């Protein structure tokens, strides 16, 4: 092994070049995730999108399936899958509907027909859910009501939570 | 003094060796990440392309008037393939007669569209539309016609075409 000055300089230059190359590699590997835009509504993998859409459909079923028998408990349980902001909005709406549920002895059983991803990032996913709602009052025959619902899921410190629901 | 120089050289050799191994490992990871990102980018582009195609086809499907029937049906056929295209090309006369006889006119727009699944050849897309329908039965008064559609699409020569439109009742 030679200890000559030129060789040490070559090694030093080589080390600097390799550090630079490592920096470029790190920059590439740590590069930011793609952002959604008009031309890229979905910028997460299929598995992530599908799992969050499935969670949205399941949460929507839980939220919309209610009964006059244990209305308050079901509303309280439903808020556990919502962001605090949406839970407050939902709680106010649910409270205003409570007398109607009790007077008419209303029961709703919801069933998901199909679901799809509308937009998705690693922070927020919007799912289109076709939902059938079977509504019965005073023990009567259930009436099927078909809905189209947009469920917004937001990633929080407690996982993916429902942050908005729009129904048409 | 000479021992110190040799020690410095050895340290430099070790440093270069470690950096070279790290660069090689990093290079492999960069190559893998590049392939993964290319695949993901292609898949993300498919979401966009299938949503655009399904939205256009659903818009054509919910906007058909007896007054412009041939053009409206041609618009549906333009975004279709297979049996759906056959229906809107081979059965045009019969459909137009029916639309004119009943004075049918539908109008609508896409509210939301989402992808159920998509790969490099097939896709299933849900499209929710709001709209109206009027005909002799409604006495030319528009009735609400809000639909839950499920479209099957196939990739044909770089374009996504609809092979089936289902109304999800």
| Structural domains of chain B ordered from first start | 2-167 (3.10.450.50)
Average pLDDT over residues B135-149: 93
Q: What is the pLDDT of residues A103-133, one digit of tens each?
A: 999 999 999 999 999 999 999 999 999 999 9
DSSP helix/strand/coil, B58: helix
Q: What is the pLDDT of residues B45-99, one digit of tens each?
A: 999 999 999 999 999 999 999 999 999 999 999 999 999 999 999 999 999 999 9
For residue A15, list chain B residues with Cβ-Cβ distance below 8 A.
Answer: 12, 15-16, 19
Q: How confident is the model at residue B5 (pLDDT cuts 50, 70, 90)?
A: confident
For residue B10, list chain A residues with Cβ-Cβ distance below 8 A.
Answer: 1
Interchain proximity B15–A11, CB inside 8 Å: yes
Q: How confident is the model at residue A36 (pLDDT cuts 50, 70, 90)?
A: low
Least confident segment among A5-9, A59-63, B4-8: B4-8
Interchain proximity A118–B113, CB inside 8 Å: yes
Q: How confident is the model at residue A146 (pLDDT cuts 50, 70, 90)?
A: very high
For residue A146, list chain B residues with Cβ-Cβ distance below 8 A.
Answer: 148, 168-169
Interface check A116 vs B, CB under 8 A: yes
The answer, as to whether pTM is greater than 0.80, is yes
Nearby residues of A126 by Cβ (< 8 Å), 6 or more positions away: A117, A118, A119, A120, A150, A151, A152, A153, B114
Check residue B41 and give its pLDDT: 86
Q: How confident is the model at residue B33 (pLDDT cuts 50, 70, 90)?
A: confident
Interface check B51 vs A, CB under 8 A: yes
Q: Which residue has the higher pLDDT, B42 or B73?
A: B73
User: Residue A1 above 50 pLDDT?
Assistant: no
Check residue A38 and give its pLDDT: 60
């Amino acid at each position: 092994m030679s200890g000559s000055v030129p060789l040490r300089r070559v090694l030093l230059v080589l080390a600097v070049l390799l550090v630079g190359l490592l920096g470029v590699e790190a920059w590439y590997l740590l590069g930011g995730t793609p952002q959604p835009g008009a031309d890229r509504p979905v910028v997460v993998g299929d598995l992530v999108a599908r799992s969050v859409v499935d969670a949205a459909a399941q949460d929507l079923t839980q939220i919309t399936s209610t009964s006059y028998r244990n209305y308050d408990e079901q509303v309280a349980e439903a808020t556990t899958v919502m962001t605090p902001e949406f839970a407050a909005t939902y709680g106010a709406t649910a409270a205003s509907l409570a007398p109607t549920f009790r007077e008419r002895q209303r029961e709703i059983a919801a069933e998901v027909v199909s679901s799809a991803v509308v937009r998705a990032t690693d922070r927020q996913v919007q799912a289109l859910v076709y939902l059938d709602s079977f509504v019965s009052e005073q023990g009567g025959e259930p009436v099927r009501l078909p809905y189209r619902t947009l469920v917004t899921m937001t990633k929080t410190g407690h996982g993916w939570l429902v942050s908005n629901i729009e129904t048409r | 003094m000479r021992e110190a120089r040799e020690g410095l050289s050895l340290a430099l050799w070790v440093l270069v060796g470690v950096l070279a191994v790290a660069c090689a490992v990093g290079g492999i990871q960069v190559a893998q990440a590049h392939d993964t990102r290319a695949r993901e980018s292609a898949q993300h582009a498919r979401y966009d392309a299938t949503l655009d195609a399904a939205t256009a086809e659903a818009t054509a499907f919910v906007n058909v008037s007896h007054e412009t029937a041939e053009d409206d049906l041609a618009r549906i056929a333009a975004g279709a393939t297979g049996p759906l295209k056959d229906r809107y090309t081979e059965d045009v006369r019969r459909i137009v007669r029916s639309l004119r006889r009943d004075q049918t006119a539908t109008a609508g727009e896409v509210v939301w569209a989402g992808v159920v699944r998509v790969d490099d050849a097939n896709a299933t897309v849900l499209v929710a539309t709001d709209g109206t329908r009027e005909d002799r039965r409604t006495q030319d008064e528009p009735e609400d016609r809000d639909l839950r559609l499920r479209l099957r699409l196939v990739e044909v020569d770089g374009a996504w075409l609809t092979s089936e439109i289902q109304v999800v009742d």
